[in-house]
Amino acid sequence: MSALDVGWRLLPFFGVYVIVAYATGRLIRRTGFKLPLTAGFLIGAAATAGFTTLEPTTPYTQVWWLYALFGAASGLVAAPSTAAALVSVTHERAGMASGAVNAFRQIGSVTGSSLLGALLTGRLQSQLPTRLDTHHVPQAAWPAVEHAVSTGNSGHRATPPNVTAAVGDAFTSGVHAGMTVVAVVFLCAALASALLIHNRPHHTTVTTH
């Protein structure tokens, strides 16, 4: 796919995220922080659990709603997490609290991507021999396939269908492992949110002179 094709297919995630984040920013004035945060983590866990059912041949028509669901979960979490940090400190420290939230968000993005990428790579490499054997790829070709997968370069030769299927299965196994970890983390975050977050709505104080 081209970059534009990928962008269109990711639009349900980003579009729903923007809409839900805006609506949640207004909603927390009435509901407080605990409900949207906990709901967001639970919905995120459901969406990532849904990704563990996908296969290499699963069409996009069966995937887009999971992207939209994950976008809604992200939107539910983004605004309350920032607002909860801001109202938990004095006005003089609001900038510090906002900076801390953004810093941990960036650290989480980098660390999470690195850990999930390492998990995906490790799972792909460990499962590849088994998948190659399942798809009846001759063992003499395994070193070349493993080298091509590890370097990302298959040369200019056409890849046999059974090799493509074996690599796809091994890659999917890595994706499933990563999504399982994310779902578990979201469930733990939902539990922490329900037990530890103080449900204080954001109030705007008006001073009358």
Provide the domain count of the chain.
1
- The dihedral through the CA atoms of 94, 96, 99, 100 has a sign that is negative
CB 40 within 8 A of CB 186: no
Is residue 201 assigned to a domain? no
Is residue 64 assigned to a domain? yes
Is residue 63 assigned to a domain? yes
Instruction: Provide the H-helix boundaries in 135-160.
Output: 142-151
Interior/surface letters 12-24, b for 16+ CB within 10 angstroms, e for the rest: bbeebbeebbeeb
pLDDT for residue 98: 85
Two structure tokens written together for 146: 């493993």
CB 68 within 8 A of CB 10: no
Is residue 26 assigned to a domain? yes
pTM of the model: 0.83
CB 65 within 8 A of CB 56: no
| Structural domain harbouring 42 | 3-122+182-196
Centre a 10 Å sphere on the Cβ of residue 35 and count the other Cβ atoms it contains: 18
pLDDT for residue 205: 47
CA atoms within 13 A on the CB side of 12: 12
Is residue 205 assigned to a domain? no
CA atoms within 13 A on the CB side of 75: 22
Per run of 10 residues, the mean pLDDT along the chain (length 209 residues) is 90 95 88 91 96 92 94 92 83 86 90 94 93 91 88 76 92 95 96 83 47
Is residue 155 assigned to a domain? no
pLDDT for residue 206: 44
Is residue 30 assigned to a domain? yes
Closest CA to 161 of 141, 139, 135: 135
pLDDT for residue 134: 92
Is residue 146 assigned to a domain? no
Concatenated DSSP letters for 74-122? HHHHHHHHHHHHHHTS-GGGHHHHHHHHHHHHHHHHHHHHHHHHHHHHH
pLDDT for residue 197: 81
Can you tell me the distance from the alpha carbon of 162 to that of 131, in angstroms, rounded to the nearest whole number? Answer: 10
Can you tell me the distance from the alpha carbon of 202 to that of 209, in angstroms, rounded to the nearest whole number? Answer: 23
3-state secondary structure of 207: coil
Can you tell me the distance from the alpha carbon of 51 to that of 36, in angstroms, rounded to the nearest whole number? Answer: 22
Closest CA to 166 of 207, 114, 128, 204: 128
